[in-house]
Structure 1
Amino acid sequence: MDKSRVITLISADYEPDALGQLVPTEMYKNVFCNISSVSAAEWFEAGRDGLNAECRATMFAYDYNGEQIAELDGVRYGVYRTFLGRNETIELYLERKAGI
């Protein structure tokens, strides 16, 4: 599998500020992956659930720690589904949505 693309996985850690409110602090991790389009069936099923499926990122499973935001080519995506594949890989299904 060609893993020549770099995707940034973004996780958030919440810490209290001076007023005691929890404020997110983002942490970034760059990993190599393969980007491909989603299948027609995946696109249709995601659309039925109100999701806007865009693409699929395949990477080594050990690189993923449950991050819910990914950035690819300067565009932020939400991770709406994962699939554990063969040979210690994981597929992240990404969607574009407001507020990420």
Structure 2
Amino acid sequence: MPSLKSSVGNRQHISLDDVCFLISVTNEYDELNQPIPTETLSMVYCSRLSVTRAEFSTAGQTGNKPNMMIVVDSDEYDGEGTLEYDRVKYSIYKVFLRPDGNTELYCEVDAGA
């Protein structure tokens, strides 16, 4: 289905010509009612950008260690907390919805991976 996003006021165009995998986790339960997490990967087009010095400083104050920012189409992002980029798993610690219809995902290396 085509997106109904407006292109009015879109001054900065970001080319989404790279690929990452958004990871969603669902729980299935065994016979003892214990959760068994299942990961589902969804391929999306993205653009990798550097984290600014201001973001690096702010994230460091909250205990995060920013590694990169991934920009994806807002229609593709559905609240996932983890992504895989270049065969490395990252945690998403901050999300910012841009006015151009894209979403910035601020990532740090997933300590559990």
Task: Name the TM-score class by shorter chain.
Answer: over 0.9
Counterpart of 1:40 in structure 2: which amino acid?
R
Aligned with residue 74 of structure 1, among 72, 80, 87: 87
TM-score, normalised to structure 1, is 0.95
Match in the other structure for 2:4: none
Query: Are residues 1:98 and 2:100 paired?
Result: no
Measure, in 1, the Cα distance between the counterparts of 2:63 and 2:40. Answer: 28
For the pair shown, the structure with the greater C-alpha radius of gyration is: 2
3-state DSSP class of the match of 2:58? helix
Query: Are residues 1:55 and 2:68 paired?
Result: yes
Matches within 5 A, 1:1-100: 1-100=14-113
3-state DSSP class of the match of 2:80? coil
Q: Deviations over 1:15-34 (max 9, x none)?
A: 10132201101111010011
3-state DSSP class of the match of 1:98? coil
Q: May I ask how many residue pairs the two structures share in their alignment?
A: 100
Gap regions ≥5 residues in structure 1: none
TM-score, normalised to structure 2, is 0.84
3-state DSSP class of the match of 2:67? strand
- CA RMSD between the two structures: 1.0
3-state DSSP class of the match of 2:75? helix
Counterpart of 2:32 in structure 1: which amino acid?
L
Gap regions ≥5 residues in structure 2: 1-13
Compare the two structures and name the one with the higher helix fraction: 1
